[in-house]
Amino acid sequence: MLIHVENLSHTYIPGTPLARVALHGVSLKVGPSERVGVVGRTGSGKSTLVQHIAGLLMPTEGRVLIDGVPVHERTTVARAARQRVGLAFQYPEDQIFEQTVFREVAFGPRNLGLNKTEIAERVRWALGMVRLDPAMESRSPFTLSGGEMRRAALASILAMRPEALILDEPTAGLDPRGRRGLLARVRTWQVETGAILILVSHNLDELARIVERVIVLDRGLVVADGPVRQVLSNGALLSAAGLDVPQSVTLLRALHDAGWDVRTDRLLPEEAFEEIVRVDAGHATALRALQSVEAR
Amino acid sequence: MPPFIELRELEYSYPLDGGGQVAALRGIDLTIERGEFIALVGPNGSGKSTLVRHLNGLLLPTKGQVRVEGLLTSNPRNLWAIRQRVGMVFQNPDNQIVASTVEEDVAFGPENAALPPDEIRRRVDEALATVGLVEYRTHPPQMLSGGQRQLLAIAGVLATRPACIVFDEPASMLDPANRRQVLDTIRQLNSEGLTIVLITQAMEEATAARRVLVMHEGRVAMDGPPVQVFEHDAQLRDWGLDLPTAVEIAHHLRERGWQLPQGLLTVEQLARALC
């Protein structure tokens, strides 16, 4: 699948004193098998952008093409294109409405016209992906805990087997282990199927572990688009966009400023640790060499 | 004077749809003093939210007792007084915003307490000033950003002048700048004497508290200052929790024989120790 966002602008409640421009002529392309992170402060346009890619909003200007089909049109091909994109909302309770977890997760597959056996098979698979106990199938999704509700909402999107999966802050409220496990399984699925994965997240650790490319939005504009290491280690860029720098980068930068010869684009704690050890080992070798020269 | 909040042998079980029940809290003894700043961490399903919902009688114990300034939460006649002392801010601010403008929303609590209009006015202005939303007074809440709506939810609770505010993952939906603003506001409120209980999944946030409670399977499994609690890194990891970045890196370095001082919680402290 190829997603092509063309000069996309969006204004909320235009023509009123409350009008607000959320996107400002955004253009970008996302190709098959890409894993892309979208970051930006609140109100930067992240959620608006991904809702456009899912065909849920009408552009004020510009358009979104899925394999060449403009997704917002009222045509059968556009509808088919929209069904290939799955978006899990930021707040799971915004998308949950069914009486039982099973019906909630089955809603999408049923709309795809699948038969009962296929629907049941997809529901089992999707609940397994998010690690929700099959015993919960008959419960009302509204009786679930926050973390469980989030998993159910995500399962209902996965059950559609989308060719582009968009997750808007998918792991808020999940504990670190749940978060890592869930994303690792989504990633495995993504690699196997060649789907596009778009991850909107404030969790830089999560992005560093999952995506290869990061798009930074600020006030409705794309201010950076590049490899994850490069973008997330660029302190000036991130702070201008109102974002934090990963803790590991802050540490490495402080060491670098103190004269250590460390790379500052190591985003994860384990990478920062290895970098410190590597430079220290080099240091020790150099010191030994120097001492042996002096000894002679 | 009785302790501010006292939990004694607290147990709680959720009823299940088809009958039966699930034990969420399995015997909790805990005392919270006035002015404390407590971070409550633990894996999903460990009972964090269930526990804090007992602090102002949103949930009532299946067994045991909860007292706020000596008042039992299980006595319905105490609930009004207890809820005036202990306020709550939830993860999704939209669940607790009720009015069509920012200031009306903040006034909701004081109005319900039947306060005179000039007192309501004073409280609304003060609360909005504390969270920095004065300029949005007349805006409809849905026009605010996610972070601003969370600050509005805090203002709404502040206007009821509680002695304690419980925050259930207030920042997990927010961007870094808004998160910092919410946390700075929480820290400031605590420095002014307000008791804070903060549920969080972000261990970096827990380092700001003076006391960290780790919950596991319905019990308080650890209780102490952050430095002390994060020393149990293997145990915490085993329970699926993260460590603050600095603690994790320092731990690996110590394993390789590096001599580092104790009590390193932030990357700034770690950088100073290394240089």
Residue A295: band (very low, low, confident or very high) from pLDDT cuts 50, 70, 90:
low
Length of chain B in terms of residues written? 275
* B123: pLDDT strictly greater than 90: yes
How far is residue A77 from each of residues A53, A82, A83, A136, A140, measured CA to CA in Å? 15, 9, 10, 36, 34
Separation of alpha carbons A188 and A180, rounded Å = 12
Q: Specify the range with the lowest mean pLDDT, choosing from A13-22, B150-159, B215-224.
A: A13-22
Q: What is the mean pLDDT of residues B189-215?
A: 94
Query: According to the model, what pLDDT value does residue B175 have?
Result: 81
Q: Where are the beta strands (DSSP E) in chain A?
A: 3-12, 20-30, 35-39, 61-66, 69-70, 85-88, 164-168, 196-200, 213-218, 221-227
What is B5-243's CATH number?
3.40.50.300
When mean pLDDT is compared over A37-46, A67-76, A286-295, the highest value belongs to A67-76
Compute how many other C-beta atoms are within 10 angstroms of the C-beta atom of residue B121: 14
A248 in contact with chain B, both atoms CB, cutoff 8 A: yes
ipTM of the complex: 0.81
Query: According to the model, what pLDDT value does residue B170 have?
Result: 87
Q: Specify the range with the lowest mean pLDDT, choosing from A166-180, B2-16, B79-93, B130-144.
A: A166-180
Query: According to the model, what pLDDT value does residue B242 have?
Result: 86
Residue B201: band (very low, low, confident or very high) from pLDDT cuts 50, 70, 90:
confident
A177 in contact with chain B, both atoms CB, cutoff 8 A: yes
Query: According to the model, what pLDDT value does residue A208 have?
Result: 93
Cβ distance A273 to B178 less than 8 Å, yes or no, reads no
Cβ distance A91 to B246 less than 8 Å, yes or no, reads no
Token pair, residue B175, equals 């961007």
When mean pLDDT is compared over A183-192, A222-231, B144-153, B167-176, the highest value belongs to A222-231
Q: What is the mean pLDDT of residues B228-247?
A: 91
When mean pLDDT is compared over A241-245, B24-28, B181-185, the highest value belongs to B24-28
Average pLDDT, chain A: 91
**Domain A3-243 annotated CATH 3.40.50.300:** yes
Which residues in chain B have Cβ-Cβ distances shorter than 8 Å to A169? 173
Q: Vertex A49, ends A44 and A50: CA angle to 5°? A: 120
Query: According to the model, what pLDDT value does residue A149 have?
Result: 86
The structure tokens 């989308």 sit at: A162
Helix (H) or strand (E) run with residue B38 in it:
strand B37-41
* A52: pLDDT strictly greater than 90: yes
Rg of chain B, C-alpha, whole Å: 20
Nearest to B44 among A40, A145, A244 (CB): A145
Q: What is the mean pLDDT of residues B195-221?
A: 94
* A296: pLDDT strictly greater than 80: no
Q: What is the mean pLDDT of residues B48-56?
A: 95
A42 in contact with chain B, both atoms CB, cutoff 8 A: yes
Q: What is the mean pLDDT of residues A52-71?
A: 96
A262 with A276: CB under 8 angstroms?
Answer: yes
Q: What is the mean pLDDT of residues B231-245?
A: 90
A184 in contact with chain B, both atoms CB, cutoff 8 A: no
Q: Encode pLDDT of A124-142 as tens digits.
A: 999 999 999 888 899 888 8
Separation of alpha carbons A69 and A4, rounded Å = 9
Query: According to the model, what pLDDT value does residue B178 have?
Result: 81
Find residue A120's DSSP bridge partners: none
* B271: pLDDT strictly greater than 80: yes
Residue B89: band (very low, low, confident or very high) from pLDDT cuts 50, 70, 90:
very high
* A8: pLDDT strictly greater than 70: yes
Nearest to A238 by CA among A260, A210, A208: A208
Delimit the CATH 3.40.50.300 region(s) of chain A. Answer: 3-243
Nearest Cα residue in chain B from A151: B44
Q: Specify the range with the lowest mean pLDDT, choosing from A57-71, A78-92, B69-83, B169-183.
A: B169-183
Q: Encode pLDDT of A236-291 as tens digits.
A: 999 999 998 999 999 999 999 999 999 999 999 999 999 999 998 877 777 777 77
Which residues in chain B have Cβ-Cβ distances shorter than 8 Å to A174? 44, 201
Compute how many other C-beta atoms are within 10 angstroms of the C-beta atom of residue B254: 14
Query: According to the model, what pLDDT value does residue B17 have?
Result: 67
Shortest alpha-carbon distance between residue A286 and chain B (Å): 18
Q: What is the mean pLDDT of residues B64-84?
A: 96
Q: Which percentage of chain A shows pLDDT scores above 90? A: 72
Cβ distance A247 to B252 less than 8 Å, yes or no, reads no
* B248: pLDDT strictly greater than 70: yes
